[in-house]
Amino acid sequence: MLQNWFILLPEICLVSFLVVAWLTELLREEKTAKTFYSIAQFFLLASLSSTILFYNKSAFPYLWQNSSFTTLFKTFVYLLAWAWFYLSSKWFLNKNRPSLKFYSICFGLLFSFSILASSSSIITLALIIPIICYLHYLLILRHWDIERVRTTASTYAWCSTLFCILLFVGVSIIYFQTESFEYLKIKQYLLMNKTYTFQFLLGILFILSCFMFLMAIVPFHHWFVAFVSNGVLPVCGFITLVPPLIYLCAFINLISKCLAPLSNFIVPLISIFATLSIIIGALSSNRETNIRRLFGYLSIYCLSFAIIGLQNFSDKSIIASFAYITIAILSLTGVYTVFLSLKSRGDYLSEVNSISGFYTMRPYMSAALLVFMFSLIGLAPTLGFFGYLSVINNLVSSNEWFRVTLLLGSLLFVAGACLQIVRIIYFESPTTKFDRTDKSIYICLFINVLFILISLINPAWLLHDALVILGGIS
């Protein structure tokens, strides 16, 4: 029993933050956004350390099971969350806003993400995903000002309720058919039975559609795009950057360890969703005047690119998709860091036209944004080139020429959207006087740019250990 408590230390650290943070709120008179960030930093790093320490141990293996694979994803997510919490604290200090609820909801999500990533049972999915949806709803409401965000939150609440119901129905159908909730037992059932009823396939479809909704894949993307164009930066950045890695991890786990025998049914199905998302994401980004909405579509494009690269969920395709999505999120993190500098008279700007001539006033910031966009469209010598190459090379080796053509063609439209921003920043006259940028943002940008440009030296070393870990997932 005592051993189980030690194994649960990562989750205990995340929950402990909530207790300590709220006690600080009640007992301490002088507190700022930096106060709660300092507390968050301690418990997040403690959770990260214990996650690595107990990477292959599980207290409840029949519900969720840790492995090198899940630990890799969690490690990236915790580091990403730590970096974004630090940057978010600057926003809260600048706007003089209370940050306790933001950090509390985010830690609740990180706790839920930890369980979701390691899920080894469909009942775990059915229980934890509704909690994630509810916390997402609360996080979307952390805006305080704009009524449109409340409308978006209401729409998200109704849609998430519908998909959670579909998830429950899908899990119930699979249980009654297989008489088990565990991934491995369901996989054994599927291997022994080669014919499946319409109801069983419908249950699989319901579960997959719930994942597509969580990942904001077309046609379930409207809530995400509507929010990122109106929401506050800390919340928009967290929802855009942190959840995708966990959702992709849980999705790969579900398919590889549970539904792999149904790959002939699943792969074409998710390919349709991913293809639509790539087309809509690439085309829609070209006509956007809201820079956050533009990069919202690009984030949908990037996640869909990773999904379509999964192909048949082989070792090579999983490695390629992981490499791509990690690099893409690293680039998007840099973009959102630049967003924190797009400030005039205390207000954070979001319209593309408002940053015209940005280069003349913030040359280093503009250069950093240029590097991040080049990485997003896969231009050498940025690390993004390595990400795109890993996916496309894997598809070429499998003779998936239609997908290769689709991805390369869509990339031209993504490049067009990025070049539009380049034109406005570098070749138009400035119309806005920008506020002074915090030095810590420059430091974060410098570190991020170093990672993005690391392919100038040797891109393989950055992901070498990750590739070894991912090699045995399927």
256-314 pLDDT, tens digit each: 899 988 888 888 888 889 999 999 998 888 878 888 889 999 999 999 999 988 877 77
What's the pLDDT score for residue 56? 78
Using 50, 70 and 90 to split pLDDT, how confident is the model at 3?
Answer: low
What's the pLDDT score for residue 94? 83
CB atoms within 10 A of CB 401: 10
* Mean pLDDT computed over every residue of the chain: 85
- % of the chain surpassing 70 pLDDT: 93
What's the pLDDT score for residue 185? 92
3-state secondary structure the chain: CHHHHHHCHHHHHHHHHHHHHHHHHHHCCCCCHHHHHHHHHHHHHHHHHHHHHCCCCCCCCCCECCCHHHHHHHHHHHHHHHHHHHHHHHHHHHHCCCCHHHHHHHHHHHHHHHHHHCECEHHHHHHHHHHHHHHHHHHHCCCCCCHHHHHHHHHHHHHHHHHHHHHHHHHHHHHHHHCCCEHHHHHHHHHHCCCCCHHHHHHHHHHHHHHHHHCCCCCCCHHHHHHHCCCCHHHHHHHHHCHHHHHHHHHHHHHHHHHHHHHHHHHHHHHHHHHHHHHHHHHHHCCCCEHHHHHHHHHHHHHHHHHHCCCCCCHHHHHHHHHHHHHHHHHHHHHHHHHCCCEECCEECCEHHHHCCHHHHCHHHHHHHHHHHHHHCCCCCCHHHHHHHHHHHHHHHCCCHHHHHHHHHHHHHHHHHHHHHHHHHHHCCCCCCCCCCCHHHHHHHHHHHHHHCHHHCCCHHHHHHHHHHHCCCC
Sign, CA torsion 207/208/213/219: negative
Q: What is the pLDDT of residues 134-191, one digit of tens each?
A: 999 998 887 655 666 778 888 899 999 999 999 999 999 999 999 899 999 999 999 8
H or E segment to which residue 347 belongs: strand 347-348
Task: Please say if the pLDDT value at position 467 is more than 60.
Answer: no
158-167, 256-265, 424-433, 453-462: segment of lowest average pLDDT: 453-462
Q: What is the pLDDT of residues 69-128, one digit of tens each?
A: 888 889 999 999 999 999 998 888 888 888 889 999 999 999 999 999 999 999 999 999
What's the pLDDT score for residue 205? 93
What's the pLDDT score for residue 208? 93
Region 1-17: what's the mean pLDDT?
A: 80
What's the pLDDT score for residue 468? 54
What's the pLDDT score for residue 183? 93
Using 50, 70 and 90 to split pLDDT, how confident is the model at 40?
Answer: very high
Q: What is the pLDDT of residues 373-403, one digit of tens each?
A: 988 888 877 788 888 888 888 888 878 888 8
Region 341-368: what's the mean pLDDT?
A: 84
Residues 6+ apart with CB under 8 A from 158: none
Residues 8-27 as b or e (16 or more Cβ within 10 Å = b)? bbbbbbbebbbeebeeeeee
Region 422-448: what's the mean pLDDT?
A: 83
**pTM for the structure as a whole:** 0.91
Q: How far is CA 393 from CA 303, 333, 336, 370, 389, in A?
A: 18, 26, 29, 26, 6
Q: Which of 230, 216, 329 is nearest to 280 (CA)?
A: 216
Task: Please say if the pLDDT value at position 458 is more than 80.
Answer: no
What's the pLDDT score for residue 161? 95
Alpha helices in 216-345 (DSSP H): 222-228, 233-241, 243-254, 263-285, 291-308, 315-339
